[in-house]
Amino acid sequence: MKMRYYSFLAFYKFNKNILKLILVISQVFLFIGGANGQINKLNTELNQSTISTNLKYNLTNYLHFTSNSETTLLNIDSLLTFANSLSEEDYTVPSWTLLKMAVTSLTSQRNSNSTVALLNTLNSLKNKEMPYNIVCSINGAPTSRMGFAWFTNAGVNGGKVEIVQGSAIDSLAFETPDFTFNAKIDSVKNLNYNLPLNGLLGLAGIADSTKHSYTENKALATGLAPNTIYSYRVGKDNAWSKTGTFKTAKDNTDSFSFIYITDPQANAIAQFDVAQKTTNVANSMFPNVNFWLCCGDLVNSTGVNNSEWEYEQFFQTQQDIFLNKPWAVVTGNHDVSPNKNITHHFNTENTGFDLKNSTVPGSIYSFVYGDALFMAISFENYGKSGHLDSIANWMRRQVSAHPTTKWRIAFYHRSVYTGSTHQNNMDGKIIRDALAPVFDELHIDLALQGHDHIYEIIGPIKNKTLTKNAVIKQVSVSFDERYNLTGKSGGIFNVENGTMYFLNNSSGYKKYQPHSEYQMDTIETKIGLSNYFGMFNGRFGQDGIPTFSNITVSTDTIDVKTYEVNTLGISSLYDNFKIVKMTDVVDSIDPKETVKSMSFYPIPVKDYAYVNFKDPIDADVEVYSLKGTLVKLQHLNGSSQINLKNLSKGVYTLKIVSGSSNYKIKFIKD
């Protein structure tokens, strides 16, 4: 037995085909305890495999299977001895941790599942030079730039990104890359790897507070063409990543979409499993979104002893999404650490905030996508004198640099308004008092929030007051003190006179409960607000199920569809609301029918237009400017007057939408 092991180890060390060898072993072990017929089949497969003759001979001897269980046990022992003889410094940190887990599992559970798991893990061991935790980040203009960040083991440098136009089928596509950008590297020393809550001591025999050093690699691609698919790989010769693809943004105001998640905040494998299920379902449902956006708390641990293993899990459990979609993330309170893990992992710091008071470089940045200006904000240094003023001035500069962009979207972690656990926290009040007036001043249309792990729609708000008559087509549903405290769902929200504050529920495991109207009433004085519960103007509650939102932004509308993903990975629509921006919104009544015939007068139109239908129908009237901007929306039943007083003189398009029918008429406002 011992001789057999050493002979095998010698072959391992000297033959580069070892991974193939281990793959074959894994096939063999699948049949542990199986019948002789299966073993014969495996021997046949072994003889047909492409590994060297010597290795075949050795393997056949090594895996001399019979149905005798003693032989099986001996093979498990030798396999464990072999795995334990490997050296940590030869492999990447993540693949080594997986190996340690598999060894621990097989040591305690000597069964075929654990054996196959160890063989697969051996097969997946990554050479120490290989890149990992690869992240594509929006970095400046998404029409022409893309940021990349990845880790390698300490001392591994010389990394770069190679990019080719189109979808690369294999590595041959990179023989003559269209672009090569060398990585800037930084030595990241002694990051704390794991904490007791991570459970790695029991799962992998890795001691709590183990330290690892890494090389941070960041490359920035510039000069890319708009609306173009590119393929890329990161790493260096003999150590390339899988191929990723991304598409640059169009250089016009065409519609686009993105996934919005927040607060996955996992710290153990079971919690990462919940969070990755949400995102992987979102990715399979909406593979063509333009980017992903996360409002912070990517991981749970925080502070000087935070866990880099949690970041590693965050990336490893959804690596294909990070490889194939650009991300825009903001820093949550759980992401803050003097170790700056989040800064090491995202390539966003080239996009311009005055860092004087920021402890998290790269956490405040902006970009324009389609007809929307996005502003990523970190409030984590809210307590530093002058920091919130710096943010306000930075926001003013972003808006003045893009004055004609239709939509202004801010996203951040700590909620400006919320109805749950953090509602009466003083940080929220400080941030609200400093920034809500700036949101008013800059006409921020939509604020995407994080931090409170609950679903809530607040506003539109201006001067800390709910804008009246700004919502139409809302559905009344059952009130429930946990699941829906407003009894509302859906709706079209007009943000002409206020900001919509939207908090998606956590995409992960942890959930908070909603505060009741009574609870909110009792803290209004303390937090300096009135009619607080009344500000909750759409669906508001806690289902306890992870969610993600698919948000489509066009020049006319922001359409927000939110889905729950249950433990089986099955998704269902949770809420769908729309945001428009126009001079006024009028509600009406609603029987059902299809447009059959109609008349429209007078021509030209003065202050009022009239639409008459032959039969009573349920329809929407939308009026567009020549630029295609939606300037009026009205719900109709039968004949109706449309108030066009606020429109300036010019040519407009009137669109009638009823069911699947729609009619368009051009008219002149005189």
**Part in contact with Fe ion (CB under 5 A); list of ranges 109-117, 292-300, 379-387, 511-519:** 292-300
**Shortest Cβ distance from residue 451 to Fe ion (Å)?**
4
Whether 499 contacts 446, CB under 8 Å? yes
Q: Between β-strands 630-637 and 640-643, what pairing exists: parallel, antiparallel or unpaired?
A: unpaired
Identity of the residue, 471 or 503, whose beta carbon is nearer to Fe ion in the bound complex = 503
**Shortest Cβ distance from residue 453 to Fe ion (Å)?**
8
Distance CA 256, CA 293 (A): 13
**Part in contact with Fe ion (CB under 5 A); list of ranges 189-197, 289-297, 497-505, 660-668:** 289-297
Site residues for Fe ion, window 425-454 (CB under 5 A)? 451
**Shortest Cβ distance from residue 263 to Fe ion (Å)?**
6
CA dihedral 63, 67, 70, 71 (to 10 degrees): -10
Position of tokens 């704390």?
192
- Scored b (16 or more CB within 10 A) or e, 330-352 reads bbbbbbbbebbbbbbbbbbbebe
Identity of the residue, 263 or 543, whose beta carbon is nearer to Fe ion in the bound complex = 263
Distance CA 349, CA 330 (A): 12
**Part in contact with Fe ion (CB under 5 A); list of ranges 112-120, 141-149, 328-336, 510-518:** 328-336
Per rule CB under 5 A, is residue 297 in the interface with Fe ion?
yes
**Shortest Cβ distance from residue 53 to Fe ion (Å)?**
59
SS3 of 295, please? coil
Task: Choose, by CB under 5 A, the member of 142, 326, 332, 460 that binds Fe ion.
Answer: 332
Identity of the residue, 360 or 609, whose beta carbon is nearer to Fe ion in the bound complex = 360
Identity of the residue, 451 or 515, whose beta carbon is nearer to Fe ion in the bound complex = 451
One-letter amino acid for residue 415 of the chain: S
Identity of the residue, 333 or 350, whose beta carbon is nearer to Fe ion in the bound complex = 333
Site residues for Fe ion, window 597-656 (CB under 5 A)? none
Distance CA 60, CA 48 (A): 13
**Shortest Cβ distance from residue 298 to Fe ion (Å)?**
10
Q: Compute the chain's Rg from CA coordinates.
A: 29
**Part in contact with Fe ion (CB under 5 A); list of ranges 326-334, 351-359, 501-509, 550-558:** 326-334
**Shortest Cβ distance from residue 378 to Fe ion (Å)?**
12
Q: Say how many Å lie between the first and final Cα of the chain, rounded.
A: 97
In the complex, which residue's CB is closest to Fe ion?
A: 451
Identity of the residue, 298 or 642, whose beta carbon is nearer to Fe ion in the bound complex = 298
Identity of the residue, 216 or 297, whose beta carbon is nearer to Fe ion in the bound complex = 297
Cα angle value 631/635/641 (rounded, 5°): 80
SS3 of 147, please? strand
Identity of the residue, 94 or 332, whose beta carbon is nearer to Fe ion in the bound complex = 332
Residue 458 Cα to chain centre, angstroms? 22
**Part in contact with Fe ion (CB under 5 A); list of ranges 26-34, 200-208, 327-335, 619-627:** 327-335
**Shortest Cβ distance from residue 311 to Fe ion (Å)?**
16
**Shortest Cβ distance from residue 346 to Fe ion (Å)?**
17
Identity of the residue, 380 or 564, whose beta carbon is nearer to Fe ion in the bound complex = 380
Distance CA 374, CA 360 (A): 19
Region of residue 291 (left: phi > 0; alpha: psi -120 to 50; beta: else): beta
Identity of the residue, 297 or 310, whose beta carbon is nearer to Fe ion in the bound complex = 297
Q: Between β-strands 179-182 and 160-165, what pairing exists: parallel, antiparallel or unpaired?
A: antiparallel
**Shortest Cβ distance from residue 297 to Fe ion (Å)?**
4
**Part in contact with Fe ion (CB under 5 A); list of ranges 144-152, 160-168, 295-303, 433-441:** 295-303
Task: Choose, by CB under 5 A, the member of 107, 165, 333, 421 that binds Fe ion.
Answer: 333
Following DSSP, what letter does each residue of 77-114 receive, concatenated?
A: HHHHHHHHTS-GGGB-HHHHHHHHHHHHHHHH--SHHH
**Shortest Cβ distance from residue 413 to Fe ion (Å)?**
6
Q: Between β-strands 446-449 and 499-503, what pairing exists: parallel, antiparallel or unpaired?
A: parallel
Task: Please give the size of the binding site for Fe ion, defined by CB under 5 A.
Answer: 4
Residues binding Fe ion (CB under 5 A): 297, 332-333, 451
